[in-house]
């Protein structure tokens, strides 16, 4: 079914298929942070990220959010719709952490009255710089209508995922989304939703159950990925 590898990123490989409108995404255990400066392996991560992302995208589809998901093919591989990626990282935050806490000199953990949405320019050579919507327009990364739609979708996704994770005993602190255009221009959610792209804190203890354990050398990285996946599976079985 796989034809040729058309892209290899930090955490995934993408293959073409017989169908020009479909691609196969294959998740790796490789982990990087700080724009590739820190490199490592998180054993089993590819399997967890593939399965978690698919469960969450299925839930989002059920709630009316269009995604690139077609179906899971194996532990590490998923068939997705081919999209043209909008070169924006769309970040939603519910709680101060990471670059927000650093940029504004505030402690991690402060809960916002309203979620925030921000855009970064998806460009490794520039280090994914923060970007205001008018600059995204000036650079012709997306149209005004697309930006409005992406922001509205991101906020809706946040409400759905926040409630879902709360049921699993996990606080959804912040996360990064990527969107793509189908051939007809429809905007759909693409990329992945996983502990690589979300900050997930245990609701009771505040324990970090995401990639910050790798970024910050906190130890127990594999165990955290397994724990958060187990919570999700248990919730799915209920």
Tokens encoding 53 = 């992302």
The sign of the torsion formed by the CA atoms of 167, 170, 171, 175 equals: negative
Question: Which of 48, 57, 69, 91 is the binder for ligand 5GP (CB under 6 A)?
Answer: 91
E strands along 42-87, which residues?
69-72, 77-81, 84-85
Binding residue for ligand 5GP, selected from 100, 164, 165, 225, defined by CB under 6 A = 100
- CB-nearer residue toward ligand 5GP: 82 or 213: 213
d(CA 218, CA 202): 15
Helix (H, G, I), strand (E, B) or coil at 110: coil
Instruction: List the one residue from 72, 128, 151, 202 that touches ligand 5GP (CB under 6 A).
Output: 128
Site for ligand 5GP contains 89 (CB under 6 A): yes
Q: Are 203 and 170 in contact (CB under 8 A)?
A: yes
Count the residues of the shown chain that bind ligand 5GP, applying the rule CB under 6 A.
Answer: 15
Q: How far apart are CA 228 and CA 208, in angstroms?
A: 10
H helices present in 38-143, as ranges: 45-62, 98-104, 133-138
CB of 130 to ligand 5GP, least distance (A): 8
Contacts of 214 (CB under 8 A, 6+ apart): 31, 33, 38, 40, 42, 221
> From the CB of 18, what's the least distance to ligand 5GP, in Å?
30
Candidates 44, 66, 98, 115: give the one binding ligand 5GP (CB under 6 A).
98
C-beta nearest to ligand 5GP: residue: 98
Candidates 52-60, 97-105, 155-163, 230-238: pick the segment binding ligand 5GP (CB under 6 A). 97-105
12 near ligand 5GP (CB under 6 A) = no
Nearer to ligand 5GP, 142 or 198 (CB): 198
Touching ligand 5GP, residues 173-212 (CB under 6 A)? 174-176, 196-199, 211
Alpha-carbon span 2 to 8, nearest angstrom = 14
Q: Does 143 bind ligand 5GP (CB under 6 A)?
A: no
Residues 229 and 175: their CA atoms lie apart, in Å, by 16
What residue ranges bind ligand 5GP (CB under 6 A)?
89, 91, 97-100, 128, 174-176, 196-199, 211
């Amino acid at each position: 079914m796989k034809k040729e590898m058309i892209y290899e990123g930090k955490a995934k490989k993408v293959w073409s298929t017989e169908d020009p409108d479909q691609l196969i995404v294959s998740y790796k255990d490789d982990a990087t942070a700080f724009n590739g400066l820190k490199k490592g392996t998180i054993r089993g991560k590819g399997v967890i990220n593939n399965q978690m992302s698919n469960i969450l995208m299925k839930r989002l589809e059920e709630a009316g959010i269009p995604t690139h998901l077609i179906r899971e093919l194996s532990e590490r591989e998923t068939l997705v719709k081919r999209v043209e990626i909008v070169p924006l990282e769309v970040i939603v935050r519910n709680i101060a952490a990471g670059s927000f806490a650093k940029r504004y000199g505030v402690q991690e953990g402060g809960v916002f009255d309203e979620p925030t949405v921000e855009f970064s320019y998806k460009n490794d050579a520039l280090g994914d710089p923060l970007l205001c919507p008018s600059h995204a327009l000036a650079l012709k990364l997306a149209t005004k209508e697309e930006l409005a739609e992406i922001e509205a979708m991101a906020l809706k996704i946040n409400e759905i995922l926040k409630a879902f994770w709360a049921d699993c005993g996990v606080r959804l602190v912040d996360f990064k989304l990527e969107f793509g255009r189908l051939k007809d221009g429809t905007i759909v959610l693409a990329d992945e939703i996983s502990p690589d792209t979300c900050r997930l804190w245990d609701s009771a203890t505040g324990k970090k159950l995401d990639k910050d354990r790798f970024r910050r050398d906190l130890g127990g990285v594999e165990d955290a990925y397994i724990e958060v996946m187990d919570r999700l599976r248990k919730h799915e079985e209920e």
